[in-house]
Structure formats: C-alpha cells, structure tokens
Structure 1
C-alpha cells in the first residue's frame, strides 16, 4: 500500500468513528425523549444539528474515496457547507 492509501485509511477511519459517535448521540437523544428527560422540540433541534453534521461527514468520505479512486490526494477533499451538501442530497 502506498503512503496515500495509508493516509486515506487513517483519516477515513477517523471520519467513520465520528459518524459512529453521532449515531450514538442520536440514539441517546431518542432515549432521552422516550424517558421524558427532554422535550420534543429539544430533541428535534439537536437531531437536526447532528443530521447536518452526519451529511457533511458522509459527503467528505465520498469525496475522499472518489479522489483515491481517481488517483488524487484524498486530503484535498474538504468539508462542504450544510447548504451545499443538502443541495446534493436532494
């Protein structure tokens, strides 16, 4: 494996770890709502922020993987704004 592949793998793992953390936070929020520890408005507000960040992480991961497949430097991929990512998602 070349240096680019090792770098890409480590960064990709960190992005995937962050995605896992956010998924866990989504579960905690849903449980907190079910247990009455937070109100629905709080849950929705916080979920919206997490979902936006998740979309950005998935977008960044797709960018990185596409760059690797094209023989380009995955570290040149960058986090796009929520508005830009949401436009691509629809």
Structure 2
C-alpha cells in the first residue's frame, strides 16, 4: 500500500513538473511573441562593438534600454535610439 502511494506521489509530481512550464508560457501578457523582432543578443553585441559595456539590453518603447558597467564598476541604465543605437539623453 505504501509502495503504491509513493509511486502515485512521484508520478503526480513528475507530471506537475512537466505541466508547469507549459502553463507558464500560456499567458499572452507575459509571454514573448514569436513575431518579436527584437534580438537582445544582437543588440547587446552591437552596443559592445561601439565600446558600450552593456551587460543586458531590452526594448523600451522606441528605445533600447541597456544596463552598462562604467569604468568605476558601477552599473547604470542608458538609453539608445532603436535604429541607430546612438545614446539618448533623458
């Protein structure tokens, strides 16, 4: 009896573990669209090629918001034009 209960609990836990990621991506508000043309890795690479020490980037309206490590080691948010990646003063 205990053996069957343990097997049932392990099976239920395994099924829940498989189902949770599928349910998490079903929310259209938080899930990224497959038609999203913003490529974070590419934009970050382009900024780094311009000498900007960006650790992460994200699309922020018509701008790119980047987290940049300065020479003093401090991280700041900087904004760039979406098309040219020129710095934007806000």
Q: TM exceeds 0.5?
A: no
The structure richer in helix per residue is: 1
Larger radius of gyration: 2
Kindly indicate which of the two structures has a greater share of residues assigned to strand: 2
TM-score under structure 2 normalisation? 0.31
Which fold has the larger relative contact order, with Cα–Cα distance below 8 Å and residues 6 or more apart in sequence? 1
Scaled by the length of structure 1, what TM-score is found? 0.31
